[in-house]
Structure 1
Amino acid sequence: MEGLDDYDLGDYTQDNGTVENLYQNVTGAFDGSIASFSYSVMIINVIISLGGFAGNAVVIWISGWKMKRTVNTTFYLSLAISDCLFCACLPVNIGYVMTSHWPFGPVLCKLVSSTLIFNMFSSVFVLVLISVDRCVMAVFPVWSHNRRTVKAAVGVLVLTWVLSATLTVPSLLYRSTRAHGGATECYSDYKHNSVHRAVVLARFVGGFLLPFVVIVSCTAILYVKLRRLTIKSTKPYKVMVALVLSFFLCWIPYHTVVFLEVDIRKHDLTLVQTGLAVGTTLAAANSFVNPFLYVFIGNKFKQTLRRSLMQRMEYAMAEDGRTLTPVSQSVRI
């Protein structure tokens, strides 16, 4: 995760200040009451990491092994894998924020710090695929029935992950480590504000604006199509709508604050730092929320989860019964 203190602020100093003074202002911003806010954010991130990893692991187990492999389960499996990988890397970032020291070297600095951006691209691209898939099913049912296969879905997902990784390359290129104040920092060295602005704009357009336009367009087409149907069942679309709303609500604050950060001299440092903490936490929370949406909205997923857990409990009890029976007999003997 990227915060204000992760950037090389050499190009952003005010005319009457220095880089050292700016760093002091940033680090001092969390003294007193704001320090408790910082700790609260860290606790929330720990909960997101643990709960998100466990929840998405369950989704991977259910959609990957317990449910029939369909195009929908393939899409949701990809989304869960992306969220699970991010939640697995989140504790490293949490430890770095708490200790202000990066002991893992420049390679892991680049990889771990880029997981949030990769998760953003891969998640929103899968949501675009789900929206387009639903739209094509409604508008071209015959063509969709003949061409809509799991194999095709896997092929498109592979291309999606490659595209997500490609768009994450700037995070890898400009992420670096350096010694500062007796510790090692993992920070984004954009060199010039113009580069920083270009990266932020590309993330916003590719990871938010264009997907938003495509998804809204598909949703509008679906809405019109459903109104014309005699059977107006919306159950198949509840999970899709919930996932889309969750993604955009969680990511809007992040993109808003990152745009403010590009022109840091025009805004209050404490405000931007606090906004980044909240925005990044909300963006991370999207990976935590998704599994709950599957359980509470997806009836098939809920039924499969309940049935699988009951089967495992019955199996465990049966195993206990089989192992206890010979022992009881031997006692009687």
Structure 2
Amino acid sequence: MENNYNLIDDQEDDSDGAAYICHISDFSTINGYVFILFTIISVIGNTLLICVLVTQKVLKFVTKTFILNLACSDLIFTATLPFWAYYHLHHWVFGDFLCKFMTAVYFVGLYSSIFILTGMTVDRFITVVLNKWPNNSLRKRCAVGVCVAAWVISIAVSPYDASKMQVENDSYCEAYSEAELGYYLQVSLLFFLPFAVIIFCHLSIIRTVFQATNRQRRKAVGIVFCIVAAYFICWGPYNFLLFIKSLYQPSGCKAAQRLETAYNICRILAFSHCCVNPLLCLLSQRIRRHLLDLLKVKTIFQKNFLPTFFLYTNCIYKYIAH
């Protein structure tokens, strides 16, 4: 969709000061096809990751619990991408209910991931820096409790965001203009507050880990650190730009063009995060090994069981036909 701004371009000669419409470059086609690509990669990667985590003992219970919930969060977020892809390639044809419902699902995936990442980081902080867990059983219960709380809070908060969405002109699923300021501020704050907690915890973790001489201890926080860093590399610029958009109104067409270009690039980077976690988990040699074992099992199944199954099915069909 083309974005239009009612602006006065400072660099144009407009003696009567009348506002006019700026025609901003259209990123809809690029966004649509990129979202389809993200959907395919995310579904394959996160499904395989969940299969490995569920069927194999590749990680300790607490880390596995957090990563498993993150994979589910990514899949929930990914479930909305085909709708946004179609929306960008054509227009919104799914009605007002799905406009609100898909927005709610989008925010469930978004909020749950940041809350789970915060819980994962706090767990690492307590384990590495404070070393205060009285026993492993309590740590496991806390991990499960944090994940449950993350889902409950995300599901409870997301309808409020969805209520600000509406279908305009039977073609656009957007936040109504009166709600845009609060919408951008809320999303930004729900990102930056956990971000502050995570930054504090990780600075403490890094200092403690690099003071230690135990190389295994450094490796123990490696995957968690990469997952958290990747989240903020992907989502940080986008949320920062949302915060800017809530406070800044471009004064000319060129400024509006730059803002819109930056917004679309940052959104693509943010949405790519749903594909990242499975790739980062492959940094673990154990996960790579078990994934290869899982793929080998599927290959053997396809080569041996499926041909036999189809042969017997064909024989039964011929018997019944005659």
Shift of 1:317: 4.1
Check conservation: 1:48, 1:285, Cα contact below 8 A: yes
1:245 and 1:214, CA in 2 relative to 1: closer, same or farther beyond 3 A? same
Match of residue 166, structure 1, among 156, 165, 168: 156
Check conservation: 2:112, 2:150, Cα contact below 8 A: yes
1:142 and 1:104, CA in 2 relative to 1: closer, same or farther beyond 3 A? closer
Flag structure 1 segments of 5+ consecutive residues without an equivalent.
327-333
Check conservation: 1:4, 1:276, Cα contact below 8 A: no
Q: Is residue 2:103 matched to residue 1:113? A: yes
Match of residue 249, structure 2, among 260, 264, 268: 264
Q: Is residue 2:16 matched to residue 1:29? A: no
TM-score (norm 1): 0.79
Match of residue 313, structure 1, among 279, 299, 308: 299
TM-score (norm 2): 0.81
1:204-259 Cα shifts (integer Å, max 9, x gaps): 2222x222221122222222332443413322212111111111111122123223
1:265-296 Cα shifts (integer Å, max 9, x gaps): 4363222222222121111001111111111x
SS of equivalent residue, structure 1 residue 103:
coil
SS of equivalent residue, structure 2 residue 215:
coil
How many residues were matched structurally? 298
In 2, the alpha carbon distance for the partners of 1:307 and 1:112 equals 36
1:175-198 Cα shifts (integer Å, max 9, x gaps): 01122xxx432111142xxx5333
Bigger fraction of residues in helix = 1
Shift of 1:51: 0.7
Partner of 1:242: 226
SS of equivalent residue, structure 1 residue 264:
coil
Structure 1 runs of 4+ aligned residues shifted over 6 Å read: 12-15, 320-326
Check conservation: 1:83, 1:119, Cα contact below 8 A: yes
Check conservation: 1:294, 1:301, Cα contact below 8 A: yes
Flag structure 2 segments of 5+ consecutive residues without an equivalent.
9-16, 313-322
Partner of 1:329: none
1:65 and 1:314, CA in 2 relative to 1: closer, same or farther beyond 3 A? same
Higher relative contact order (CA 8 A, sep 6+): 1
Match of residue 232, structure 1, among 172, 193, 215: 215
Partner of 2:12: none
Shift of 1:66: 3.0
1:274 and 1:170, CA in 2 relative to 1: closer, same or farther beyond 3 A? farther
